[in-house]
Amino acid sequence: MKNFSEGLKYAMAQADMSQSALSEKSGCSKAAISQYLSGKNTPGPAKVKALADALGVSVEYLMGFDVSPVKEPAPSITRIGTRQAARCLGKSEQFVRIGLQRGLLPFGNAVPGTGNNWNYYINPVKFRDYVGADRFNEFFGLTA
C-alpha cells in the first residue's frame, strides 16, 4: 500500500464496516471519513489512532507503511455470531446484543437495520483479546 486512503479502504473491507459504522465507532464524522477515503485529506495522529482502534488494525498499517494490518496474528475464525460470542463468554445472547447496541462491549458494534432489526459485527481479534487467547482457542477448537 502506498497511502492512508488505500489502507483505510482495505481495513474497512476486511472489517466489513461501512462509513457510517466507522464514524459511529471512531468518533470521526462521515464527511471526514469520505474525504480520507478519497485522499483529499489525511487525519491527524489522534484521528488515525481512533480509526485504527475502531478497525482493529495498527496505526502503521493505516498510514501506509508496509506492515501487517493487524496488531497481532489474526485468528483463523473470520465470523463470530452473537450466539457464539455469548456461549464463549458464558452470558446470554441478549447480553451481547444489548452490549453491542449500546457500545459497551469493545469487540464489535451494532448498526440499526430495517424496522426494529440490528446488524451485528464482532471483530475476531478484539473478541480474542477480550476473552483471552486460551479461552478463545479452546472454545473455537484452535491450537495455540
Tell if the pTM clears 0.85, that is, is over it: no
Three-class SS of residue 83?
helix
pLDDT at 134 over 90: no
Task: Measure the N-to-C terminal CA separation of the chain; round to a whole number of Å.
Answer: 30
**pLDDT tens profile 3-22:** 788 888 888 887 888 999 99
Average pLDDT over residues 118-136: 89
β partners of residue 57: 70
Rounded Cα–Cα distance for residues 21 and 110 (Å):
8
Nearest to 81 by CA among 95, 63, 93: 93
- Delineate the domains of the chain, giving CATH numbers in brackets: 4-62 (1.10.260.40), 82-140 (no CATH)
**pLDDT tens profile 80-121:** 999 999 999 999 999 999 999 998 999 989 888 888 899 999
